[in-house]
Amino acid sequence: MNRQTTIAKEASVSGVGVHSGKPAQLTVRPAGEGTGVVFVRADVRDRAAEIPALVTKVTTTELGTNMSNEAGVSVATVEHFLAACAGLGIDNVVAELDGPELPILDGSSRPFVELLDRAGLKRQAATKRVLKILKPVEVRSGVKFARLSPGEGFTMNVVIDFATPAIGRQEINFKMQPGAFAREVAWARTFGFAHQAEQLHAMGKGLGASMDNTVVIADDRVMNPDGLQAPDEFVRHKLLDVIGDLFLAGGTIEGLYEAEQPGHALNNQLLRAVFADATSFAWM
């Protein structure tokens, strides 16, 4: 029987927030059975500082998945860390931050996988919560769509299509199995377009972005000196984002996820649509 998992000891990592550009330290600590992933803002003293990683806490999805609690305390850009938790099968962990945004590190989930590996995994007595999809649920936005359907295990099919030949049309099929996330997905970095940088900076976004943590595209080519880690790194990163966003269900998903041009907003809408229809799912 599948048991819940936490970490064995405390571990920390530091960097800068990709949007704020400010220093950020993340410290992970073990958590009890049934806790889930809970973010704690260590720098907040006058209000409730805990934010459970649940779809109902998502407040904005522009340029990342961002959450807030009832006291108005927020945490931004959570998806890469949550993807690492999902990929390693970690159910319960306290993630303490000294600021409003997680560090971007190298723009992938690999540093978070390494952080959690350093902390060690610890099995717990309680069984995992599994969200079993009972019937298809789909959300659409123009040509974009995301769908969850019944299926065995947790499998995903993601398609992206960008006009620039630097990316083009890419597709990936993936099944969540032990070791697969770290091997096939975790290392894929976030990406962006150089011509959008000025606009983002005017919005107070992307202030911490650089070629150290972002694959940058300009004039239909990748500008990073070392290039890509794989020709399909772009779609692998989109898959990484999907895994992080869907982890906000509050348990492991059993079903098939399919999407064309997915994004944080669409993923959030999909989970909310599932929970809005009690006949579409069951907790196992």
Q: Does residue 164 sit in the same domain as residue 259?
A: yes
- As a whole number of angstroms, the distance between CA 248 and CA 281 comes to 15
pLDDT over 70 (residue 1): no
Q: Does residue 275 sit in the same domain as residue 135?
A: yes
β 281-283/130-133 pair status: antiparallel
Q: Does residue 120 sit in the same domain as residue 171?
A: no
Please state, in angstroms and as integers, the Cα–Cα distance from residue 21 to each residue in 154, 183, 184, following that order: 35, 29, 29
Q: Choose between 230 and 199: higher pLDDT.
A: 230
Six-digit token pair at 159? 């398609």
Residues 90 and 7 sit within 8 Å (Cβ to Cβ) = yes
Tens digit of each residue's pLDDT (9 = 90 or more) over 231-271: 999 999 999 999 999 999 999 999 999 999 999 999 999 99
Q: Does residue 67 sit in the same domain as residue 141?
A: no
Q: Looking at 95, 127, 159, which one is the last position of a domain?
A: 127
Q: Is 158 helix (H, G, I), strand (E, B) or coil?
A: strand
Q: Does residue 139 sit in the same domain as residue 122?
A: no
Cite the active site residues.
Answer: 264
Q: Does residue 146 sit in the same domain as residue 267?
A: yes
- As a whole number of angstroms, the distance between CA 186 and CA 242 comes to 12
Q: Does residue 88 sit in the same domain as residue 134?
A: no
Q: What percent of the chain has pLDDT over 90?
A: 94
Q: Does residue 134 sit in the same domain as residue 121?
A: no
Q: Looking at 127, 157, 186, which one is the last position of a domain?
A: 127
Q: Residue 73 — very low, low, confident or very high, per pLDDT cuts 50/70/90?
A: very high
Q: Does residue 115 sit in the same domain as residue 243?
A: no
Q: What residue numbers bound the domain in which 91 lies?
A: 3-127
Q: Does residue 55 sit in the same domain as residue 135?
A: no
Tally the domains of the chain: 2
Q: Looking at 127, 149, 177, which one is the last position of a domain?
A: 127
Residues 192 and 94 sit within 8 Å (Cβ to Cβ) = no
Q: Does residue 119 sit in the same domain as residue 195?
A: no
Q: Does residue 52 sit in the same domain as residue 36?
A: yes
